[in-house]
Structures are given as structure tokens and as C-alpha cells.
Amino acid sequence: MKFSALILLLFCLSACQKAPLNEETESKKVQLDELEILESTYDEDSTKESSLKKDGTRQAWTDYSNYAEVDEDGYAYYMQENPDISSEIFPLYDSSDHKVLLFTFDDAPQRPNSYALEIAQQLKAKDVNAIFLVNGMFLTEEKGRKITKQIYDMGFEIGNHTQHHPNLKEMTYDQQYQEIKQTSDLVEEITGEKPRWFRPPFGLFNMDTYQICQELEMQLMTWNFGYDWMDEYLESEALLEVSLNNDYLRAGANILMHDRPWTNGAISRMVDGYREQGYHIVDPLLIRKPNFEKES
């Protein structure tokens, strides 16, 4: 729009040069009116505010109209807040379908070969949103930063998975804080948005981790099931098979995956398989994060 406004301005300016004086004044007035209209359309169409919720989180972009009813803030689900048990997804309203699954991808964008971007492209083509949880150590180089930015720009959520993937339980509060804060800062620097999801490496955490997440306003999550790091499933067909048929698959399940080649090879058919079973892959932007009440 801005570009066309410029073209219009140039066109009008060149036209005005040939116009008599009184017409010129008229013409300039028309010109200004038109520009104002163009400017206001521009503001409405493409400023970021229109695609943000009140809390600054982006609006869900997948088509959820057939399964979820959103509240006035644009949320339809919440995540169970006790990751010791699980991190399942539940609807805020009875009218929303509980038969949803959440897709999450850890350790992104892995070195040397991350498949995060390919996975994101396949998901986007199927109208599926997901959370990519990054390790800050992969964001110190241009390649990792670029992949992360591209995935974010495609509309996916970027979560925090620590800087160096340590066992947080073996660390002091300050060490944990460093590990977590560093990655949040990097994500914010790259995307302009603070991550709102945190997953501890190996699913290991303690009360300090909780408190740090509270302070940084992130929800700590674990998962319900995931297979793509186990020896038997480092291959697309086996991974697809177990992902679609296992005892942990149920409404609200939080599925852990990684940006690996076999996951990339299975992901598209996995979406189809889940949909055939009647599941919706929930847009994480429909999931409300908890209120982080700050003591004052």
C-alpha cells in the first residue's frame, strides 16, 4: 500500500506540474484526500496491532471455526498447569472440541542439519500451527537465527528450551536463571516477541525452574508422548505408525517431537492420520497462558 501511495503521489505531482495554478490547488487537495484514505487503509490492513490479542500475543491463524469457540481475548483452551502430571490441553468452553492434539518440536534449530523449516512448511501447507522450542546455543549463528525468524514469520510460536540443554535439576537458581533468560532474550531479539512457553530439557526441573518461569512469564510444560528420539523410531514409517497408535494418544495430548529428518518424513502423513481419527491439531495461539501475578 505504501508503495502505491508513493506512485500515486509521484503521478499526481507530475500531473500537477502541467496544471494551471487554480487547478493545481484543487488537484493537491484531491491528492491529499486520496493519500489520507490510502494511509488509513494501510494502517488498518497491515499494522501488527490488528493481528494481536489484548495481551500482545498474535491471533490464531489456522481455521479453528469448526472446532473451537474463542473468548473475548481470542483464547479457546488452556494447558494443565501441573507438568508433574502432564501438560495436556483442555477447552475453556464445553462448546469447543476437546479432541485436540498439540504439536511441539524441541531442540530446534538443531546443528548441523535442522529440519525445522521443512517441517514448518509442511505444517503450514496443512493449516497446522505448532510450537518450536529453541535452544539458545543454536541461535548464536546466523543460520539458526534465520531459521527461527522464518518460522516465527510464518506464524508459528517460538518457545524456550534453555541455552545449552542442561539438566536443570543439577543447577543452582542463578545458573538456571542464566540458562533460561539468555534464550528468552535471544528469541525476543530475533522475533520481537518474548516466548511464553518453556520446556525443561529431559523434562527435568525443580521449584527453582518453576519460579524462574513465573518470573519470566512462561508456562512450564512437559509432554504426553513422543517417540522420535528413541532408537526404534529413528525412521519415518516406524515413527508414523507408533505416533498414530499408542496408549498415550488421547484428547488434549501434548506431543513432543524434534526437527529430525525422520520426523520431517512423517509429519505430513501424521497430520492426515490424526485428522482421520477425528483429532484437530490445536493452534497454540488459541491456548491461554496462566496469569502471572506479580507480588508488589
Q: Applying CB under 5 A, which residues contact Zn ion?
A: 106-107, 201
Q: How far is CA 85 from CA 28, 43, 147, in A?
A: 67, 45, 33
Closer to Zn ion by Cβ: residue 107 or 259: 107
* Beta-strand pair 77-79/287-288: parallel
**Angle ∠(113,119,122) on CA atoms, nearest 5:** 145
CB of 229 to Zn ion, least distance (A): 8
Do the beta carbons of residue 105 and residue 258 sit within 8 Å?
yes
**Of the candidates 173, 168, 161, the residue with the CA atom closest to the CA atom of residue 199:** 161
Closest CB 179 distance from Zn ion, rounded Å: 13
CB of 167 to Zn ion, least distance (A): 11
> CA–CA separation, 74 vs 140, rounded Å?
34
Amino acid identity at 184 = S
Tell me the closest approach of the beta carbon of residue 46 to Zn ion, in angstroms.
36
Least CB distance to Zn ion at residue 253 (A): 18
Shortest Cβ 275–Zn ion spacing (Å): 27
* 86 close to 222: Cβ distance less than 8 angstroms: yes
For the chain, the first-to-last Cα distance in angstroms comes to: 45
Give the nearest residue (CB) to Zn ion. 106
Residue 84 CB, nearest distance to Zn ion (Å)?
18
C-alpha dist (Å) from residue 195 to 105, 119, 167, 180: 14, 20, 20, 11
User: CB-wise, 104 or 236, nearer to Zn ion?
Assistant: 104
Q: What are phi and psi of 26, to 5 degrees?
A: -55, -50
**201 or 265: CB nearest Zn ion:** 201
In angstroms, how far apart are the furthest CA atoms of the chain? 82
Q: Which is nearer to Zn ion, 201 or 284 (CB)?
A: 201
Q: For Zn ion, give the closer residue by CB, 62 or 135.
A: 135
**Residue 144 dihedral angles phi and psi, to the nearest 5°:** -65, -35
Q: Which is nearer to Zn ion, 132 or 152 (CB)?
A: 132
